[in-house]
Amino acid sequence: MTQTQDPPLAWTRRRRELNWLERMLDWKPLLVVACMLPAVGLLMVFLTYPLGLGIWLAFTDTQIGRKGVWVGLENFEYMLEDPIFWNAVFYSVFYTGVATIGKFGLGLWLALLLNNHLPFKSLLRAIILLPWIVPTVLTAIAFWWIYNPQFSIISYVLIELGWRDTNVDFINTAWSARWSLIAANVWRGIPFVAISLLAGLQTISPSLYEAAMLDGSTPWQRFRYITFPMLLPILAIVMTFSIIFTFTDFQLVYAITRGGPVNSTHLLATLAFQRGIPGGQLGEGAAIAVSMIPFLVFATLFSYFALARRKWQQGEGDD
């Protein structure tokens, strides 16, 4: 009877024990904190500190060149009794609502148009981006010249064509100035909406449209049941950013009308600047700026609930 011999055991090198420094550097929570620390530091310096300082100033009577003291809600009480503030609230909401509707209507139309097979499609997309690329101040100066009561190119063309005898009054009366600013904002904001929605349109599979066409659907039915639901996540985000950008607009309004005539075109941003910097009342200007926060929070919640609705359509649970 022969006895079988067990094979020799394979030699393995024993793993070296890590010291405390190596174990700490290999700890994932520490790596996460170390990677996020620079971003958190930048946000603290350039976002959290200015926001906190602005909220603090809103509850003081600080003026330029003089340190203020805590006055509680006094700035807000005065603000709520100020008719100019309520006029700025009205025009800020009106300006944001009308301009956003105009930008999204024209932007979606341009996006659907550019999504088709057109000659020089790339060139057309680059041209459409020009109003967004041009600096806001240059845009404002151009529109100030277009709306100028004496040198308006629109008035010149209308008079030369014999359609008017006098220049068009764009910015010397309240409502004409308001509508003129909205038109300038829509012209500048259309490219952002159009290019963003165009990117969303190109992610929709053509097979969905082909299947719908085989079932005999109309163009409106394809837009309603395919295009719009698939675009909803991007639409919600783009609309949120558009509302925020429009509601906090400053350069366009201040460069063209400076809040006039007779404070009729003040937005909350321009009124806060006028009270805080030229007027010297930093506390009052900060209070007006702080009053914008609820509107911005509403825009953010709008985006969240729109995205949550889209997740519900896809059959996913709410997080």
Q: Tell me: pLDDT of 315 over 50.
A: no
Q: Is the model more confident about 17 or about 128? A: 128
CA dist 286 and 291 (Å) reads 9
Q: Tell me: pLDDT of 130 over 50.
A: yes
Q: In this predicted structure, what is the pLDDT of residue 287?
A: 93
The total of other beta-carbon atoms located within 10 Å of residue 169's CB is 14
Q: Map tokens 């209507």 to a residue.
A: 105
Q: Map tokens 């949550």 to a residue.
A: 308
| Range of 12-16, 119-123, 312-316 with top mean pLDDT | 119-123
Instruction: Tell me the sheet residues that pair with 86.
Output: none
pTM score:
0.82
pLDDT, averaged across the chain = 85
Mean pLDDT, residues 101-114 taken together: 91
Q: In this predicted structure, what is the pLDDT of residue 131?
A: 85
Q: Tell me: pLDDT of 319 over 60.
A: no
Mean pLDDT, residues 210-236 taken together: 87
Q: Where are the domains of the chain?
A: 88-313
Q: What is the pLDDT of residues 203-218, one digit of tens each?
A: 888 898 889 898 888 8
| Bond prior to 50 in cis (omega within 30° of 0) | no
Q: Tell me: pLDDT of 317 over 60.
A: no
Q: In this predicted structure, what is the pLDDT of residue 312?
A: 46
Q: What is the pLDDT of residues 154-168, one digit of tens each?
A: 888 888 888 888 888
Q: In this predicted structure, what is the pLDDT of residue 152?
A: 84
Q: Tell me: pLDDT of 311 over 60.
A: no
Q: What is the pLDDT of residues 249-268, one digit of tens each?
A: 998 999 999 898 889 999 99
Angle at 265 between CA 239 and CA 300, to 5 degrees: 25
User: pLDDT class for 2, splitting at 50, 70, 90?
Assistant: low
Q: In this predicted structure, what is the pLDDT of residue 11?
A: 57
Q: Tell me: pLDDT of 180 over 90.
A: yes
Q: What are the tokens at 48?
A: 């959290």
Q: In this predicted structure, what is the pLDDT of residue 92?
A: 94
CB 85 within 8 A of CB 292: no
| Range of 81-90, 165-174, 224-233 with top mean pLDDT | 81-90
CA dist 102 and 94 (Å) reads 12
Class in CATH terms, 88-313: mainly alpha
Q: Tell me: pLDDT of 195 over 60.
A: yes
